[in-house]
Amino acid sequence: MLDQLQKHLDQVAEFTPENAAAVEEFRIQYLGKKGVLAALFADFKNIPNDQKKEYGQKLNELKERCAEKIEGFKSQASGQSAKLGSLGDLTRPGYPLPMGAIHPISEVKNRIVEIFSRIGFNVSEGPEMEDDWHNFTALNLPEYHPARDMQDTFFLQTDPDWMLRTHTSSVQVRYMETHQPPIRTISPGRVYRNEAISARSHCFFHQIEGLYIDKNVSFADLKQTLAYFTNALFGTSKIRMRPSYFPFTEPSAEVDVYWGLETETDYKMTKGTGWLEIMGCGMVDPEVLKNCGIDPEEYSGFAFGMGIDRIALLLHQISDIRLLSENDLRFLEQFQPRF
- Rounded to whole angstroms, the Cα distance separating 45 from 39 reads 11
Phi, psi of 258 (to 5 degrees): -80, 115
Statement to judge: residues 205 and 301 lie in one domain: yes
**Phi–psi pair at 65, nearest 5 degrees:** -65, -40
Domain boundary among 60, 87, 114: 87
Of 212, 206, 140, 130, which Cα lies nearest the Cα of 171?
130
| Domain boundary residue, one of 30, 60, 87 | 87
By mean pLDDT, which of 98-112, 264-278, 295-309 is the weakest?
A: 264-278
25 and 111 inside one domain: no
When pLDDT is averaged across residues 5-18 and rounded to a whole number, the result is: 73
Q: What is the CATH number of the domain that holds 193?
A: 3.30.930.10
Mean of pLDDT values over 208-219: 95
Mean pLDDT score of the chain? 84
Question: What is the rounded distance in angstroms from the CA atom of residue 176 to the CA atom of residue 233?
Answer: 27
Count of structural domains within the chain: 2
pLDDT confidence band for 86 (50 / 70 / 90): low
Q: What is the pLDDT of residues 216-272, one digit of tens each?
A: 999 999 999 999 999 999 888 788 999 999 989 999 999 998 888 887 877 877 788
Helix 52-87 and helix 2-14, axial crossing angle in degrees, nearest 10: 10
pLDDT at 302 over 90: yes
- Check whether residue 233 and residue 309 sit in a common domain: yes
Cα gap 217→299, rounded to integer Å = 8
DSSP 3-state percent helix, strand, coil across the chain (nearest 5)? 45, 20, 35
Q: What is the mean pLDDT of residues 10-25?
A: 75
